[in-house]
Amino acid sequence: MVKSLLTRRSFVKLAAVVGAAAGLAATPHQALAETGGGGAAAGVKVVRTCCRACGKNECGVLVTVQNGRAVKVEGDAETAFHSMGNCCTKSQSSIQAAYHPDRLYHPMKRTNPKTETDPGWVRISWDEAYATIAEKFQELKDKYGGESMFFMGGTSRIWTQHAYAGWLQLVESPNAVTAWQICKGPRHMATQMQSEFAYSWMATSDRPRVFVQWGTATEISNYDESCRTTVDLANTADEYFSIDPRRTGLNHEADTWVHLRPGTDGALALSWANVIIENNLFKDLFVKRWTDAPFLVVDGMEPSGGALVNMIAWSELKPMRTRLLKEGDVKEGGSMARYLVWDELAGTDGDHPLHDNDPTGHLTYFDAETGLWEGEPDEVWSEFYDNPQPNLPKGTVPGRIAKESPFNPEIDPALRGTFDVVLADGATYKARPVWDHFAEYAQNFTPEKAAEITGVAAEVIERMAKTWATPLDPATGYGNGGLQYGLAPEHACNAIQNNRIFDTLVGMTGNWDTPAGNRGPTCGMFSGAEDAQPTIVTGHFEGIDWSIFHDKILGHDKIPTLSWWQQWADANAVQDAILTGDPYPVRGGLCEASGFMNQGNSTKYWEALNALDFFVVQDLWKTPAAGAADILLPVYHWLEVDCPRISQGSTGAQGANCRAIEPPADCRFDVDIVTDVYKAMGVPYADDPVSFGLPACTPRASSCSTSAWRRWA
């Protein structure tokens, strides 16, 4: 046996040469896609579109159609830079789904009791289906209230998003049971708490210098950019770390693979934080100026609804309690939006209400309403670093980052220490910066302690943390890249905390909203009733006070953050309410592209669905959930739809789903179904969505739409 002398990276270089040579071959589908069939066989065309088989990527694909029938799906390597010509097996098997013999073609209704094995399905018209749904929904709303209905939704097809809000608005229900609860939702809740909604996707196509793949296998599937993009990144990064209990298809290529004990991700991440803090690898100015790290926590005082209630959350969310010190806590009439810090610079003004001529420093504030520090001018910072990010693929526009703006006027917020503060009532308390508490907690997770918990050697933990957090090129002004973390850490019981520490690590090292960092999701230039995710577009409910639903969300008694988050009900609590009527009866529901086998106890869930007075399922087939339905509605397959889509991830891709084949028989577009039911119930649906002032962003996956999303939901 001859031992190969090729390293992984030299092999990639060789493969690139071979690939370039192969690229000289003819590409007949390219011309066909652009010309619409010139030189092709009669009755054959190739449609350039975006795949929606997994509901994640917007991978560019070419669909070959012969005599009106799709016969082939393949990757579009020329125009889809984010998927780089990738076309996975799920995409290719879409043809099987579109032409499956069990596909639904007509609306159906049950004629036999649910106690019988045979539902006795009979075909009905769409008019009868709509009239029945409208009648039953109104009946349940009038008898029990809108909260007596719940709506199930998946994430597979782009247009099955109405269970996230559209159906809820129709009947005024707070109860959604969506895949969001177990798919990306925990990270969204976590980042909404502490940074910005959905700052959880790493900009993979920017090619981070140190590639950290944590609890995910994006070489198979992910958001916006994955598959071939991930494989390319794994082979071009200076360092590739894989943190995963499993051996995956790609992590055998990692420079370091740590197979930690399942469920110990949080301990490992906290140990990274400990290493970064102890070695001063965090971005000092960023941490002080743009995080709550210097905000003062009042020790020894319970936030029992008195002076230390957080007023910021009142405008859109349920009020939250806090021990963070605010101007209004220390002086009468002070703002509850001004968060206090201890400025360690001398030179105080004795006449200032927060300054006391203490030579060791004084109190100053950050104003959460204006986004400015005390005395800071409201001006646009316009100094930027260039982006020398290496290995950028063709078609990627180089990003850039603003240079860190200094404090103006100059201050130096304390990150450590204990300070005496006098509240407005005259009582004196001890206060410490948030960072001091965080650093103290992280000391419980030294590499040695984390090794005991995770099974990963202490020296490996320390080396990985230092390698990732130490910029390879400090001149860029940003770090080596973000963290590419998947769903596995948020399927653990401590999901929210896992995602919070990931978010914290990214921020403290200067990898938020940077090239190759964790950035907010794509925002688009279109939004309306015909959008791919028309969930929050109606103006009919503008006058409704949705705050009354805070404590009606099922499950909030056991999971208090649900009534703050306001995005879904706990699946288990919904099942209990159906079966017991506690805390109130739930008697009806609708399911869009979802099921009962992925959340909670499936046997109990099945029992609950069959106990409903009325249940509707809209899907491609008679799914297991359809067995409990009273009405079945047939829908379009992604190959049959013209529909825009704003991608979920950080790449900036926007998909154009172009119809490749005609929809069969009586099938209808999900968007038309929900709008038609609105009409049947006499409720207007987005007559003029533009006039409602909604942002041009996907509501459930966009940082810039969060506030409007709250107002309308």
Residue 545 CB coordination number (10 Å) = 7
Banded model confidence at residue 301, pLDDT cuts 50, 70, 90:
low
Could you give the CA distance from residue 185 to residue 176 in angstroms, rounded to a whole number? 13
| Helix (H/G/I), strand (E/B), else coil: 257 | strand
665 to each of 101, 102, 621, how far by Cα in Å? 13, 14, 14
Residues 561 and 567: beta-carbon distance below 8 Å: no
Residue 129 and residue 139: Cα distance in Å, rounded?
15
Which has more confidence, 449 or 93? 449
Q: Give helix 265-278 / helix 495-508 axis angle, nearest 10°.
A: 20
Instruction: Of 197-211, 571-585, 602-616, give the lowest mean pLDDT range.
Output: 197-211
Q: Which of 46-50, 354-358, 459-463 is least confident? A: 354-358
Calpha distance 713→257 (Å, rounded):
43
More confident residue, 400 or 476: 476
| Higher-confidence position of 261 and 42 | 261
What pLDDT was estimated at residue 358? 63
Once rounded to an integer, what is the mean pLDDT over residues 140-150? Answer: 96
Pick the residue with more confidence: 196 or 238? 238
Read off the pLDDT band of 7 (50, 70, 90): very low
- Please give the average per-residue pLDDT across 385-400, as a whole number: 75
Residue 87 has pLDDT above 80, yes or no: yes
**Among 521, 483, 495, 540, residue whose Cα is nearest residue 651:** 521
Structure token pair of residue 80: 């889809």
Over residues 334-342, mean pLDDT:
92
More confident residue, 704 or 77: 77
The pLDDT assigned to 14 comes to: 36
Q: Where are the beta strands (DSSP E) in 558-701?
A: 588-592, 614-619, 631-634, 643-646, 654-657
Q: How confident is the model at residue 309 (pLDDT cuts 50, 70, 90)?
A: low
- The catalytic residues are 90
* Residue 168 DSSP SS3: helix
Average pLDDT of the segment spanning 281-310:
79
Mean per-residue pLDDT over the chain, rounded: 82
pLDDT tier at 349, thresholds 50, 70, 90: low
* pLDDT band of 116, cuts 50, 70, 90: very high
The string of DSSP codes covering 123-134 is E--HHHHHHHHH
Closest to 353 in 3D by CA, of 382, 371, 330 = 330
Please give the full DSSP string across 131-144, using - where no structure is assigned: HHHHHHHHHHHHHH
Residues with Cβ within 8 Å of 516's Cβ and at least 6 positions away in sequence, in order, are 202, 203, 206, 207, 208, 209, 389, 478, 480, 481, 482
Contact assessment for residue 572 and residue 555, using Cβ atoms and an 8 Å cutoff: yes
- Do 447 and 285 form a contact (C-beta atoms < 8 A)? no
Can you give 394-414 as a three-state secondary structure string?
CCCCCCCEECCCCCCCCCCEC
Average pLDDT over residues 109-132: 96
Is a pLDDT exceeding 90 seen at residue 169? no
Residue 330 sits at φ, ψ, to 5 deg, of -110, -10
Instruction: Decide: residue 165, CB within 10 A, 0-12 exposed, 13-18 middle, 19+ buried.
Output: buried
> Region 476-502: what's the mean pLDDT?
91
Mean pLDDT of 209-231: 84
pLDDT of residue 355: 63
- Sign of the C-alpha dihedral computed for residues 181, 183, 186 and 190 taken in this order: negative
Count of other CB atoms within 10 angstroms of residue 398:
11
Report CA 543 to chain centroid distance, whole Å.
28
Please report the pLDDT score of residue 41 as a whole number. Answer: 58
Task: Please tell me which residue, 384 or 70, carries the higher pLDDT value.
Answer: 70
Question: Higher confidence at residue 639 or residue 349?
Answer: 639
pLDDT of residue 671: 85
Mean pLDDT of 249-272: 95
Q: Average pLDDT for residues 89-112, to the nearest whole number?
A: 93
Q: What token pair was written down for 356? A: 């006391």
* pLDDT more than 90, % of the chain: 49
Helix (H) or strand (E) run with residue 14 in it: helix 8-22
Give the mean model confidence (pLDDT) for residues 166-172: 88
Looking at per-residue pLDDT, the higher value among 216 and 309 belongs to 216
Please report the beta strands in 220-303, taking only residues with DSSP state E, as ranges in sequence order: 239-243, 256-258, 296-298
| Percentage of the chain lying above the pLDDT 70 cut | 80
pLDDT of 271 above 90: yes
Q: How confident is the model over 568-584, as pLDDT tens digits?
A: 899 999 999 999 999 99
Residue with the larger pLDDT of the pair 6 and 56: 56
The tokens for 77 are: 């390597």
State residue 148's pLDDT score. 97
